[in-house]
Amino acid sequence: MRGVEGKEGKRRSGFSYVVLVLAIVTYLCAWGYSVFAAERKARIDVPQIDPILKIIKGLRQYQDVHASFPQTFDQVEAEVWKYPHPPLYGSRGHTLVIKNYYYFYTWISPIRCTLWAIPIGAHNSESNSYFLVLTPNDREKFKGPSLDLKEASSITGVPTYTQLALLGMVKQDDPAPQKKR
C-alpha cells in the first residue's frame, strides 16, 4: 500500500510544480505588459511638436494657391488637408489641438500670419511654447517655456516684442532664410 500512496504523492507534487511555473509565467507576462502600457501612456501624454511642420506647410500651400494666407484653419482643411475625419477647429476656426499642443492661428495680412504652439496636458511643463510669424518665404520663430493657463489666456495673435519678452519667449536665429518652393 505504501508504494501506491507514494506514486499519488509524486503525481500531485508534479502537478503543483506545473501550476507554479504557469503562475510565475503569467505574473511575469502581466507585469511586463503593465510596465509597457504605463510607458506607452506616459509617452503619448507628452506634448509633441511634430504636427507644426504640417500646419505650416498647409498654410503656405494655401497662400501659394490663393496669394493670401487663410482666415481660418477651416479654409486650409477644405483646400489643402482634406482629412476624411477632420479635427475640431475651435474658436471660429482659429484653434486646433493635436498631440497635446494647442495651436492658435491669427491672420494678419495676405502675406503675414502668426501661429502659437502651446503645450497642454499633464506633462506640459516638459515642453516649450513656440510663436511663429509666417510669411510666404520666411518665418520668425520665438521659443519659450510652457505657459500656464493664466499666461495662455492672455496671449494675443499679434503680441508686441515686450509682451513676448514678458512671457519668456526668445527669438531663435535661423541659419539661412527659407526659400520659396
Q: Are residue 67 and residue 143 in the same domain, yes or no?
A: yes
Q: Are residue 121 and residue 165 in the same domain, yes or no?
A: yes
Q: Are residue 77 and residue 129 in the same domain, yes or no?
A: yes
Over 60: is that where the pLDDT of 179 sits?
no
Contacts 24+ apart (CB under 8 A), 50-53: 50/99, 51/98, 51/99, 51/101, 52/101, 52/103, 52/115, 52/117, 52/130, 52/132
The pLDDT tens digits for 4-58 are: 555 555 556 778 888 889 999 999 999 999 988 888 877 777 788 888 999 999 9
Q: Are residue 71 and residue 97 in the same domain, yes or no?
A: yes
Q: Are residue 158 and residue 125 in the same domain, yes or no?
A: yes
Give the pLDDT of residue 143.
93
Total count of domains within the chain: 2
Q: Would you place residue 1 in the very low, low, confident or very high pLDDT band (cuts 50, 70, 90)? A: very low
Q: Are residue 92 and residue 159 in the same domain, yes or no?
A: yes
The pLDDT tens digits for 71-123 are: 999 999 998 998 898 888 887 889 999 988 999 999 999 999 999 999 988 88
Q: Would you place residue 59 in the very low, low, confident or very high pLDDT band (cuts 50, 70, 90)? A: very high
Q: Would you place residue 129 in the very low, low, confident or very high pLDDT band (cuts 50, 70, 90)? A: very high
Does residue 75 sit within a domain? yes
Q: Are residue 88 and residue 21 in the same domain, yes or no?
A: no
Q: Supply the range of the domain harboring residue 36.
A: 1-45
Q: Are residue 55 and residue 6 in the same domain, yes or no?
A: no
Q: Are residue 1 and residue 55 in the same domain, yes or no?
A: no
d(CA 144, CA 118): 10
Instruction: Report the DSSP pairing between strands 95-98 and 112-119.
Output: unpaired
